[in-house]
Amino acid sequence: MGFVLLNLAAMQLIPAWQTVPFLIIWISLTTVYGWRLWRLGSALATVLVVTLATGGLIGWQVLRGKQDGDYLAEVPLLALLFVVMVWHSRRRLAAMEEMKRVSDHNVMLLEQQRQFLQDASHELGTPIAIALGHAELIERSATDKAIAADARIAVDELLRMRRLTSRLLLLASTDGPEFLRLAAVDVEEIVVEALRRWNHVPRRWSLGPLGETWVYGDADRLTLAIDALIENAVDHTEPGDGIELSARRDGDQVVLAVADEGTGIPASDVDRIFSRFSRIDAGRNREAGGFGLGLAIVKAIVQAHQGTIHVSSTVGKGSVFELRMPASMASIDTRPALNGRPAHR
């Protein structure tokens, strides 16, 4: 406001200043406004004062014959322009404040969700363990085959629930600083060990291309990821179908792949199979009708390793899941020891 009054005084006292358009007053208002967003009421009051001052001064000059009368018409137009600018800026500021409020609220909800998952997983652990122990005891001690069979079903469901709570707890910790314990990891070794664990399942198992594939990551988490991919492949294949595991180097990336000859995934559903508890066909049974938390965990683990996951699938022919992660420069000599002895192929 002081700058505006200074310009008005200069226009009145300095003859040479008469040639300087009073538009500089509005320029100064715009400059001030850029540093401090006024409320609309304050802006209107300021505009009214400046409009009357400049309009009165120019009107006096018009009456004295020192200014063209048409020049006076620009005063309200510029004032209106300034009001519109204030109005739009206030709307933008209000929108930004609302976006920030929504963002902060979403962050709070995500944190509450993460805490709930952690608390629920911990709280469910003890009753599940107790119920599982009693169900296993009933199964072993039952002399009636029907009771033993029912107990076996209860054991299987409780084991499934325990896996679910473990996965919920894992997903809740994905953003934590201790989610990964990084070291040089031989991906080929993880693939071979995975096949050794799963080859009792009646499928046609095979190893695809294998090579010197090292990453800087967490061996336990990567093992969990490949187990989840294999579990998914088993759930969507029949005993006669093939499942192939492989690990190869592709430029500066390591590609860990699990391919199956199962039911495949419709193209319209490929993008959402990594969502938690996604189901692609409500008409299918629970074992083969959805993807639970397994693929969501795989995605979280590979993203924590600065990698990506890709899937290609054809309905009725099978699917190929590929985990791509930055390769490490580790050599065979740096392979960690197993049981106190150097690891060998």
Cα separation, 33 vs 49, in Å, equals 16
- Cβ neighbour number for residue 225 with a 10 Å cutoff: 30
Which of these three, 173, 206, 225, is where a domain ends? 173
Predicted confidence (pLDDT) per residue in 203-219, tens digit: 999 999 888 889 999 99
Residues 110 and 209 in one domain: no
Average pLDDT over residues 105-131: 76
pLDDT at 310: 93
Helices (H), 199-266: 219-235
Cα dihedral 293, 295, 301, 303 in deg (nearest 10): -120
Residues 153 and 267 in one domain: no
Confirm whether 308 is domain-assigned: yes
Predicted confidence (pLDDT) per residue in 243-293, tens digit: 999 999 999 999 999 999 999 988 888 878 887 655 554 434 444 444 467
Of 16-25, 35-44, 203-212, 334-343, the one with minimum mean pLDDT is: 334-343
pLDDT > 70: what percent of the chain?
Answer: 63
Residues 212 and 313 in one domain: yes
pTM attached to this predicted model: 0.57
Residues 114 and 253 in one domain: no
In the predicted structure, residue 136 carries a pLDDT above the cut 70: yes
CB 339 within 8 A of CB 333: no
Count of structural domains within the chain: 2
Q: Which residues form the domain of 152?
A: 1-173
Residue 104, Cβ density class (10 Å: 0-12 exposed, 13-18 middle, ≥19 buried): exposed
Residues 169 and 268 in one domain: no
Cα Rg, the chain, nearest whole Å:
35
Confirm whether 340 is domain-assigned: no
Residues 20 and 125 in one domain: yes
Predicted confidence (pLDDT) per residue in 295-309, tens digit: 888 898 999 999 999
Helices (H), the chain: 2-13, 23-35, 40-63, 74-141, 145-172, 187-198, 219-235, 286-289, 294-304
Cα separation, 274 vs 257, in Å, equals 16
Which of these three, 139, 173, 207, is where a domain ends? 173
The CATH number for 326's domain is: 3.30.565.10
Cα separation, 115 vs 173, in Å, equals 9
pLDDT at 198: 93
Which of these three, 173, 205, 225, is where a domain ends? 173
Cα separation, 135 vs 287, in Å, equals 22
In the predicted structure, residue 201 carries a pLDDT above the cut 50: yes
pLDDT at 331: 47
Residues 242 and 328 in one domain: yes
Confirm whether 343 is domain-assigned: no
